[in-house]
Structure 1
Amino acid sequence: MVGIIIATHGEFADGILQSGSMIFGEQENVAAVTLMPSEGPNDVKTKMEKAISSFDNQDEVLFLVDLWGGTPFNQASGLMEGHDKWAIVSGLNLAMLIEAYASRMSMDTAHEIAAHVLGTAKEAVKVKPEELEPETEAPAEAAGSVNTGKPGKFEYVLARIDTRLLHGQVATGWTRNTQPTRIIVVSDVVAKDELRKKLIQQAAPSGVKAHVVPIKKMIELAKDDQHFGGQRALLLFENPQDVLRAVEGGVPLDTINVGSMSHSTGKVQPNKVLAFDQNDIDTFRKLKEFGVKFDVRKVPADQYGNMDDILRRAQAELDKQK
């Protein structure tokens, strides 16, 4: 695996490393190198050498630095002498880091990854209001307009319950992991909210169309075998009740990724990211009766959680409140 050095002025490297872990999960063979106000070039060089010595593969190293020509860049350049397989990319941003993490799954060289992350890093630089940005792409498709015209049905690459719907962990980690062509938010509530629909469309990663459809519409789309051939769909639900309605209506979901269910009054929280009331527990039990399996992970790199155990603990906590 290609090793990654994140090198910046100040504590930026530590912060973006933490942010990357929140979205994509903890990573091996990655190190943050900081240049603090009291330090000089040799301190940075020493930190880089120590970090590289800890990597499993020291022949393939990628440096992600903040500024071209800055001290972290200059020290990385000096270390590259005699290492023609290493590479440096400057202009570090979170999109670049996440793309580098994802690229390591399919790319074996630092040069490949360095060339690949440039596009994602540049596309991440946008402005709002949109009229301040030069138009370079066609407007986003209208929500619900997912017809492609090719015979066949959707291939469902992921169906996820996430109160936050389309956010960083989905737009980067899960999208890179599952490679959908369409992200479809399935929600009656969101389908009626024009602002939320617009924000979801804007949050879609490059190359992937985002749509918002009501549950009834998703059931119709799932039964259509004439227009969606070759389309890989990632479905997002706010809650298990919407999933159950979709499954009952005929949307063929074998596995549900349970990623995030926010806490609210009357709910118990048996782990850090999932909160349940009695209706939630009963709904998951009904989904299980339909043969649906549960993939309990916040990000792809997480270990799988045991849904039966989580539901038992949630039920026990609710019973105590009675």
Structure 2
Amino acid sequence: MVSIVIASHGKFADGIKQSGSMIFGEQEDVQSVTLMPDMGPDDLKKKLQDAIASFSDQDQVLFLVDLWGGTPFNQVNGLFEEHKDKWAIVAGLNLPMLIEAYASRLSMDSAQEIAAHIIETAKDGVKVRPEELQPKEEKAAAAPAAAPKTPAGGHPGSLQYVLARIDSRLLHGQVATGWTRSTNPTRIIVVSDAVAKDDLRKQLIQQAAPAGVHAHVVPIKKMIELAQDDKHFGGERALLLFESPEDALQAIKGGVPIKTLNVGSMAHSEGKVQPNKVLAFSQEDIDTFNKLKDMGIDFDVRKVPADGEGNMQSILDKAQAELNKQK
């Protein structure tokens, strides 16, 4: 796997590395290197060399730096000269660039191939509101591409369900990047009676959709109707988002053909217990998951695609034990 060095003035590299991990999961063979006010160029060079030495693969190294021509770039460039046939440098670091680099190294084995690939994503990550302020030549490029009508494995008139996820945060960075990249949907559908009534939340969700993917918010009853008569979707790929297990149960009982639920995030609130960092349960939640299990639904407990799969039964048992203690 291609190794990555993130280099910057100050602690920017440390911070963006942490942000990337929150969205895409912890990454192997990634090091952040920072130039601090009390350091000289030679100090930074030594830190860069130590970072490279820590990698399991030092043959393919991608450097993501904050500023072309700055000290981090200049020191990286000095090391690059002896490896220019395989290493690569990209300046102008932003979070979309970093996430795209993480995603790309799952399928690309060359640092230079990844470097060429991530530039457009980095540029596309720079947007402005109100939209009238965006340069005219950029507006067309930023518009979502038309969804393909018959993706691989599909057939006209059939809606494919590539992921059904329970996430109290609904459409956020981990979904818009990690899960969208791993499942390749053409539509993201938030299934929620509450959100469907909230115009502001609907607008924010639609704006958060990644380029090329259409985002919709529908009440549960409407999703059931769509599942029963999906001929208008022409083989498109749907990623469903539920705010709670109760919403998912209602949809599945109504006929939405879900076999597996990805359980990603359930926010803590009064009366709930939290058996791990990202999942909190009330008694109703536990009872709902047990009903889903009795219906033959499988559970994929992962915050991001790179995470190992958690044991749902073990998590439920722990939550139930903690609730019992409160009684």
User: 1:180 offset after TM fit, Å?
Assistant: 1.3
- Partners of 1:138 and 1:86 lie apart in 2 by 29
| Pair 243,57 (structure 1): closer, same or farther in 2 beyond 3 Å | same
- Partners of 1:130 and 1:40 lie apart in 2 by 42
- Partners of 1:165 and 1:13 lie apart in 2 by 28
1:181-260 paired onto structure 2 within 5 Å? 181-260=186-265
Partner amino acid for 1:35? Answer: L
- Partners of 2:114 and 2:211 lie apart in 1 by 17
Partner amino acid for 2:63? Answer: F
Is 2:138 aligned against 1:133?
no
Equivalent position of 1:13 in the other structure? 13
Equivalent position of 1:103 in the other structure? 104
User: 1:317 offset after TM fit, Å?
Assistant: 1.6
Partner amino acid for 1:270? Answer: P
Equivalent position of 2:3 in the other structure? 3
Moved more, 111-120 or 148-157: 148-157
1:41·1:75 contact (CA, 8 Å) conserved in 2?
A: yes
Is 2:290 aligned against 1:289?
no
Is 2:274 aligned against 1:273?
no
- Please report the RMSD computed on the Cα atoms of aligned residues, expressed in angstroms: 1.9
How many pairs align? 318
Equivalent position of 2:65 in the other structure? 65
Q: Deviations over 1:14-36 (max 9, x none)?
A: 11111111111110111101111
1:153·1:222 contact (CA, 8 Å) conserved in 2?
A: no
Equivalent position of 2:55 in the other structure? 55
- Partners of 1:204 and 1:262 lie apart in 2 by 22
- Partners of 1:41 and 1:207 lie apart in 2 by 43
Equivalent position of 1:33 in the other structure? 33
User: 1:225 offset after TM fit, Å?
Assistant: 4.5
Moved more, 286-295 or 216-225: 216-225
- Partners of 1:163 and 1:6 lie apart in 2 by 31
Q: Kindly, what percent of the aligned residue pairs are identical?
A: 73
Q: Deviations over 1:193-248 (max 9, x none)?
A: 11111111111112211111111111122223423233111111100011001111
1:148·1:227 contact (CA, 8 Å) conserved in 2?
A: no
User: 1:118 offset after TM fit, Å?
Assistant: 1.0
- Stretches of 4+ aligned residues off by more than 4 angstroms: 138-141, 146-150
SS in 1 for 2:273: coil
Give the unaligned 5+ runs of structure 1. Answer: none
| Pair 219,147 (structure 1): closer, same or farther in 2 beyond 3 Å | farther
Give the unaligned 5+ runs of structure 2. Answer: none
User: 1:257 offset after TM fit, Å?
Assistant: 0.7
- Partners of 1:221 and 1:68 lie apart in 2 by 50
Q: Deviations over 1:52-82 (max 9, x none)?
A: 1221221211100000111111111111113
